[in-house]
Amino acid sequence: MKFKLDIKRIIVCFLAVFGMGFFLSFLMLCNLGTDPCSFMNKAISLRIGLSFGTWQLIINACMLVIVLFWDRSSLGFGTIFNMVLVGYYVDFFDWLWGKVIPAHYFTDTVSKWVIFLVALLLFIISAAVYINSDMGVAPYDALPKIITEKVSAKFPKYPKMLIRMAWDFSAILIGTLAGGTPVIGIILMAFFLGPVISLVGKLFFGKKKIPDAAT
């Protein structure tokens, strides 16, 4: 477990998680796409009548139990911050923007796309900083990493990215079956998150972080 008492990294990780929730709230209001995990959880939460934050906490807690049995090395302060805070940040800011930002900004074509692209860029940067802080990842991201390591141990030549891709596409499929509509944001996230994670790691953390998490 990565519960290291590095105050600087803990603060950076906490602020990055705040940024993820803050910008994710804009992405959801624009309805042009999010990361696969958020897409799935939003669709399910709407279907069953729970808030996004509550459902995200529930599903992450279930996944956490599995991770605890398999491999705890991917867990840390960042795991707790992500699974508990991101969803509730989204719920809070969704309520706040409904009070202070006219709804047409999220429906008019030009303003919607401007907000979406800016929020997408800043969400990706926030996620990259979060991952590069090396304080643990969300259970959703820990599970495919664990599965990849176990499969690679037995089949070294097996393409590692296929497991992560299958994991994310499964989330998209579940979200679609729950009533969600996958749109362009998911594709953009898949293309740009990995390179930005590596770039942020090199520029701000003095290392080249290997992308193993989407959120």
Span 162-194, pLDDT tens digits:
787 888 889 989 999 999 888 877 777 767 766
Tell me the two tokens of residue 30.
């624009």
pLDDT value for 1: 55
Band of residue 112 on the pLDDT scale cut at 50, 70, 90: very high
**CA nearest 48: which of 172, 175, 176, 178?**
178
Backbone phi and psi for residue 91, each to the nearest 5 degrees, phi listed first: -60, -45
- Please compute the mean of the pLDDT values over residues 24-51 and round it to a whole number: 93
Backbone phi and psi for residue 178, each to the nearest 5 degrees, phi listed first: -80, -5
Q: Name the H helices within the chain.
A: 7-30, 36-48, 52-70, 77-100, 109-132, 139-154, 160-177, 184-204
Span 85-94, pLDDT tens digits:
999 999 999 9
